[in-house]
């Protein structure tokens, strides 16, 4: 019989879809954003800023090492942030990589601080991004619980998108969870549609 963590990881992996989910028009526009989500938010939401919740060495959440193509027992480095406008959080961003990747292929991550990771990833030459995948993050899942604790309020199931960024053989897995406030941004908040 498979251990519970392995079963959870495989179940999570099966839920990811390559097609954009049937969300509202406003949310679909954000979910499909091919460029930097943080840059688009900065252009759209007055008072945009990144609130760093933590950066640390950690054990992976279910499915993360598999997505990174790494052994399951590997320690990872993670960064959790909220993308906000004034006091309103719109996105919870969760980034993981092999601990060594932070120093080797991604040296700028050591000094990122409150700057958006998305700005960096789309500016560094040679960075490649995988296709986006999407799924519904259920209440009770580890990442959902983490977000609920960070915000201090109960949350419904949330849409999440994920992609891999690669540079010189090192990978970053970026998951962006869309918080309920995202539905308050109009569908025409996409600056390319103005």
pTM: 0.86
Residues 52-79 have pLDDT tens digits of 999 888 888 888 888 888 877 778 888 9
Per residue, the 3-state secondary structure of the chain, as one string, reads CCCHHHHHHHHHHHHCECCCCCCCHHHHHHHCCCCCHHHHHHHHCCCEEEEEEEEEEECCCCCHHHHHCCCCCCCEEEEEEEEEECCEEEEEEEEEEEHHHHHCCCHHHHHCCCCCHHHHHCCCCCCEECCCEEEEECCCCHHHHHHHHHHCCCCCCEEEEEEEEEECCEEEEEEEEECHHHHHCCHHHCHHHC
Residues 14-26 have pLDDT tens digits of 679 888 877 777 7
Q: Name the residue range of residue 33's domain.
A: 4-193
Q: How many domains does the chain have?
A: 1
Compute the residue count for the chain: 194
Residues 28-54 have pLDDT tens digits of 889 999 999 999 999 988 899 999 999
Task: Return the CATH number at 65.
Answer: 3.40.1410.10
């Amino acid at each position: 019989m498979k251990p519970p963590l392995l079963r959870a990881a495989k179940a999570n992996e099966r839920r990811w879809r390559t097609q954009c989910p049937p969300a509202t028009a406003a949310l679909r526009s954000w979910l499909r954003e091919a460029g930097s989500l943080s840059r688009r938010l900065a252009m759209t939401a007055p008072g945009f800023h990144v609130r760093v919740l933590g950066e640390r060495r950690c054990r992976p959440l279910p499915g993360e090492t598999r997505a990174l193509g790494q052994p399951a027992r590997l320690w990872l480095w993670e960064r959790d942030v909220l993308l906000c406008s004034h006091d309103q959080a719109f996105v919870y961003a969760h980034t993981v990589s092999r601990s060594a990747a932070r120093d080797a292929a991604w040296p700028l991550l050591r000094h990122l601080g409150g700057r958006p990771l998305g700005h960096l990833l789309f500016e560094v030459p040679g960075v490649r991004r995988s296709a986006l995948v999407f799924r519904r993050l259920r209440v009770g899942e580890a990442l959902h619980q983490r977000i609920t604790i960070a915000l201090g309020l109960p949350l419904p199931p949330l849409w999440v998108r994920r992609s891999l960024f690669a540079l010189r053989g090192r990978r970053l897995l970026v998951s962006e969870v869309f918080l309920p406030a995202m539905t308050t941004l109009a569908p025409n908040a996409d600056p390319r549609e103005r």
